[in-house]
Amino acid sequence: MSTVLITGGLGFIGSHLAHRIAAESKVVIVDNISTGRRENVQPHSDITVYEGDITDNEMLTYLFTTYEFDYIYHLAAIASVAESVERPHETLETNFKATVSLLEHARNQKHPVKRFVFASSAAVFGDEKTLPKTEFSPVKPLTPYAIDKLASEQYVLAYNALYGLNTSAVRFFNVYGMRQNPESPYSGVISILTKAFSTEEQGRFTVYGNGNQTRDFVFIKDVIDALVLIAHHEKSKGEVYNIGTGQETSLNELIGQYQDITGNTIETMYEEPRQGDIHASVAGIEKLRKLGFEPRYNVYEGLTAYWKNY
Ligand code: UD2
C-alpha cells in the first residue's frame, strides 16, 4: 500500500482526492482548516488528518520523520486571488516558500518519492490573449497568487532537473463540483450559482460584465482522474500539464444550461465587470490527452451530476 501525503486535503479538491485513493493507499492529510473543513473528509481507517500549517517547518519535519511518502500532492495554498492582493507577504510564505520547504523534505527523504505533484493554476497566464492556453503559451502572472504559483511550479520542475526528484505540476482551470465552498464572493462562480438555484425563494445572482466572458469549467471527477493519471505516468516526470476540458463556455451559456437542468429560475442582475477580469479562457489539453486523459463530463453533464448531489 502506498503512503500518500495530501497538503490541503480537507479542501475542495484535496478531499475528493483523499476519498478516491483511500481504498488503495494510506492517506496523510495536513490542513490548517482555514478554507478546508473537517466534514469534507469522512472518517476512514486509511486517512489520518493532521491539523497544521505548511509554513510550520517543525510540523513538516514531524511528518517526514513519521512517514515515508510514496506520493505527495501539494494542494494547500491561500486560494483566493483577492486575498493574495491584500496580503502579498503572507501569501508568499504559504504559496511559495512552503512549496520549497516541502520539496526539500521530499528530496531528503531516504526512500525516493515516486511523485510530487504540485497544484498550480491557469492564473499564471494572466490576461495573455493567446487561446487556447497550452503549456507552451506565454505566461503573464498579474497577482501575488499567480506569481507564487508560477515560481512554485518552476521550482517543482527544477527539482526534477537538478536533483532527479520525481515531480510534476498541474495548472487547474475552473474546477467545480460538490463541496466547493460558495461563501466568499470570490468563490467559484458555479458554487455561487448552485446556491442561487437551490434557494427556495427565487435566488439572486450578479453577473459581473455582460456574461459573455468564457471559461474552461472542469468537473472535479475529471480533475481527480487527471491528477492520479499524471502522478502515475512515467512520461509526466518533470512536466507541467493543463487540467481542463478544452471546451469554452460563456457565463450566459452556463446560466442557461443550469436553468434547464434544475428547472428553476434565478433573478440575474448585471453589474460592471470585475477589475482585471479575464475575457476568455480555455485550456489546450493535447499534452494531457497524450497521457491517455479524456474528460468524462462536459459542462452539462458535470452540472447535472453536481446538482443531483447537492
Ligand atoms: C479563476 C480562479 C482564480 C484564479 C483565476 C485565474 C476559481 C474559483 N478562481 O478565477 O483562483 O486562478 O481563475 O484566471 O477557480 N462571476 C460573476 N458573478 C459571481 C462570481 C463570478 O459574474 O458571483 C464571474 C467572474 O467575474 C468571472 C467568471 O464569473 O468572469 C468566473 O469567475 P470565478 O471567480 O469562478 O473564476 P475566475 O476565472 O475569475
**CA neighbours within 13 Å on the CB side: how many for 61?**
3
Q: Which tens digits make up the pLDDT trace of 227-251? A: 999 999 999 999 999 999 999 999 9
Q: Output the residue whose Cα is nearest ligand 1's atom 6.
A: 123
- Residue 200: per-residue pLDDT: 65
Catalytic residue list:
145
Q: Which ligand 1 atom lies nearest to the CA of residue 274? A: 26
- Residue 149: per-residue pLDDT: 98
Question: Does the beta carbon of 300 sit less than 6 angstroms from any atom of ligand 1?
Answer: no
- Residue 73: per-residue pLDDT: 99
- Residue 183: per-residue pLDDT: 84
Q: Which tens digits make up the pLDDT trace of 26-46? A: 999 999 999 999 999 999 999
- Residue 204: per-residue pLDDT: 92
- Separation of alpha carbons 246 and 248, rounded Å: 7
Give the residues of the chain that fall short of pLDDT 70: 200-202
Close Cβ partners of 263 (under 8 Å, ≥ 6 residues apart): none
Question: Does the beta carbon of 213 sit less than 6 angstroms from any atom of ligand 1?
Answer: yes
Could you tell me the distance, in angstroms and rounded to a whole number, from the CA of residue 183 to the centre of ligand 1? 14
The Cα diameter of the chain in Å comes to 58
- Residue 186: per-residue pLDDT: 79
Which residue stretches of the chain are H helix? 12-21, 57-66, 81-86, 88-91, 98-108, 144-163, 189-198, 220-232, 251-262, 286-289, 299-309
Which residue in this structure is represented by grid cell 505527495?
72
First to last CA, the chain: 33
- Residue 109: per-residue pLDDT: 98
Amino acid at 78: I
Close Cβ partners of 214 (under 8 Å, ≥ 6 residues apart): 248, 249, 250, 251, 279, 280, 281, 282
Question: Does the beta carbon of 123 sit less than 6 angstroms from any atom of ligand 1?
Answer: yes
- Residue 203: per-residue pLDDT: 87
- Residue 201: per-residue pLDDT: 62
Residue 181 phi/psi, 5-degree rounding, is: -80, 120
The answer to whether residues 49 and 40 touch, using CB atoms and an 8 Å cutoff, is no
What domains does the chain contain, in order, with CATH numbers? 2-174+218-243 (3.40.50.720), 177-216+246-281+298-309 (3.90.25.10)
- Separation of alpha carbons 288 and 228, rounded Å: 12
Identify the CA nearest to 223 among candidates 11, 5, 13.
13
Question: Does the beta carbon of 10 sit less than 6 angstroms from any atom of ligand 1?
Answer: no
Amino acid at 50: Y
